[in-house]
C-alpha cells in the first residue's frame, strides 16, 4: 500500500521507493532504553521504556536529536519491536514510549497486534500527523504525547519545512481528544492526550497564540508542558533570531501568559534547563540500554 501516513502525502510504495522521510517499510531503531527524561505524570519515580525510531517526518533546523532524526538505525521487524515491548516491560518500564513514531505507525500497529503490553503505550510525536491516522491509532495506543510547535504555519515552513503544520497538528490533537478520553490513576495519565510546547527565542507571540489555542481547545484533564529548554542545535546557527537560548524576559512573559491555562497539570521548565545538558546524552550512565 502506498504511504500517506503523514501530511507529506508522498503516496509512494516504501518497499521500492523513498518518500520525504527517506525511510523504507522496514522500521529502524536508534536506541532502546529505560529513560528518565519524560514528564512525571507518565513515569512517576520510574522510567519510560523508550524506543527511539530513526528518521523523522519533520526537518526542524534546531533539532536536538540530529543524529537520530537524520540518521539511520538498526532495521527491525514488527516481531522484534513486539519483543522489545516484552523486554522493556520485564525490565520494569512504567510505559512504552514510542519516540518519533509517525513514519513507522504501520509497523508499530503490527507489533502491538503481536504483543499488547500491560503498561501504557505512549505515542510521543512531533504533531505533524493526519487526523485519519491518529483516529486509527486510538485503537492501539493509550497516551498521545503531542508537540504543538507553532501557531504560525509560516514559521513551521521556515524552521520545519512543514506546510500547514498548525492545521494538521490541531486537527490531530482534537481527534485524539475526542476518541481517547483522559484517564488518570492517581497522579498518572494512563490514557488520553498530553501536549508539549517548546518555546522558541524571538517568537514569544507565537507561543502566546499556541497557549491561547490550548486554553480554548483542550480539556482541563490534559496535561500541558511549557518547555524552556531550547538551545540552538543543528542548523539553527543559520537563523540569527533562533541562534541563542530564550532570554529570561521572553520566557517570563510566556509563563505569565500560560497562567490562563485551565488545565489541572501545567508543567513549566526552569529556564536554567536551557543548557546543552538537555541535549539527550544517550551514553549517560543513568540510562539503561536494552538494545
Residues lying near ligand SF4 in the complex (CB under 6 A) are found at 3-6, 8-10, 14, 19-21, 57, 103
* φ, ψ dihedrals at 192, nearest 5°: 130, -150
Nearer to ligand SF4, 59 or 209 (CB): 59
| Length, in residues, of the chain | 291
Nearer to ligand SF4, 8 or 203 (CB): 8
CB-neighbour burial class of residue 191 (10 A; exposed 0-12, middle 13-18, buried 19+): middle
**Shortest reach from residue 4's CB to ligand SF4, in Å:** 5
Return the half-sphere exposure (C-beta side, CA atoms, 13 A cut-off) of residue 189. Answer: 28
**Shortest reach from residue 214's CB to ligand SF4, in Å:** 25
Nearer to ligand SF4, 6 or 54 (CB): 6
Nearer to ligand SF4, 41 or 165 (CB): 165
**Which of 122, 75, 70 has its CA nearest to residue 95?**
122
Q: Which residue is nearest to ligand SF4 (CB)?
A: 19
> Quick check: helix, strand or coil at residue 288?
strand
**Shortest reach from residue 15's CB to ligand SF4, in Å:** 12
> Quick check: helix, strand or coil at residue 161?
coil
**Shortest reach from residue 130's CB to ligand SF4, in Å:** 9
Amino acid at each position: 500500500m502506498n504511504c500517506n501516513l503523514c501530511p507529506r502525502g508522498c503516496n509512494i510504495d516504501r518497499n521500492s521507493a523513498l518518500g520525504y522521510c527517506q525511510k523504507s517499510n522496514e522500521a529502524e531503531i536508534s536506541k532502546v532504553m529505560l529513560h528518565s527524561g519524560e514528564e512525571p505524570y507518565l513515569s512517576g519515580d520510574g522510567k519510560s521504556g523508550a524506543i527511539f525510531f530513526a528518521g523523522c517526518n519533520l526537518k526542524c533546523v534546531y533539532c536536538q536529536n540530529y543524529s537520530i532524526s537524520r540518521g539511520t538505525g538498526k532495521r527491525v521487524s514488527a516481531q522484534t519491536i513486539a519483543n522489545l515491548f516484552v523486554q522493556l516491560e520485564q525490565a520494569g518500564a512504567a510505559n512504552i514510549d514510542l519516540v518519533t513514531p509517525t513514519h513507522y505507525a504501520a509497523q508499530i500497529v503490527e507489533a502491538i497486534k503481536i504483543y499488547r503490553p500491560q503498561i501504557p503505550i505512549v505515542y510521543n510525536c512531533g504533531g505533524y500527523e493526519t487526523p485519519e491516522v491518529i483516529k486509527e491509532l486510538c485503537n492501539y495506543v493509550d497516551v498521545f504525547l503531542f508537540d504543538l510547535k507553532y501557531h504560525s504555519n509560516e514559521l513551521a515552513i521556515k524552521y520545519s519545512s512543514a506546510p500547514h503544520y498548525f492545521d494538521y497538528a490541531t486537527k490531530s490533537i482534537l481527534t485524539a481528544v475526542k476518541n481517547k478520553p483522559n484517564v488518570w490513576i492517581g497522579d498518572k495519565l494512563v490514557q488520553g492526550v498530553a501536549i508539549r510546547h517548546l518555546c522558541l527565542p524571538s517568537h514569544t507571540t507565537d507561543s502566546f497564540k499556541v497557549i491561547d489555542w490550548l486554553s480554548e481547545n483542550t480539556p482541563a484533564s490534559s496535561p500541558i508542558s511549557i518547555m524552556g529548554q531550547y538551545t540552538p542545535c543543528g542548523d539553527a546557527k543559520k537563523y540569527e533570531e533562533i541562534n541563542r537560548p530564550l532570554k529570561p524576559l521572553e520566557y517570563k512573559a510566556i509563563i505569565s501568559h500560560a497562567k490562563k491555562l485551565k488545565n489541572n497539570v501545567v508543567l513549566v521548565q526552569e529556564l536554567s534547563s536551557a543548557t546543552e545538558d538537555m541535549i539527550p546524552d544517550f551514553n549517560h550512565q543513568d540510562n539503561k540500554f536494552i538494545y
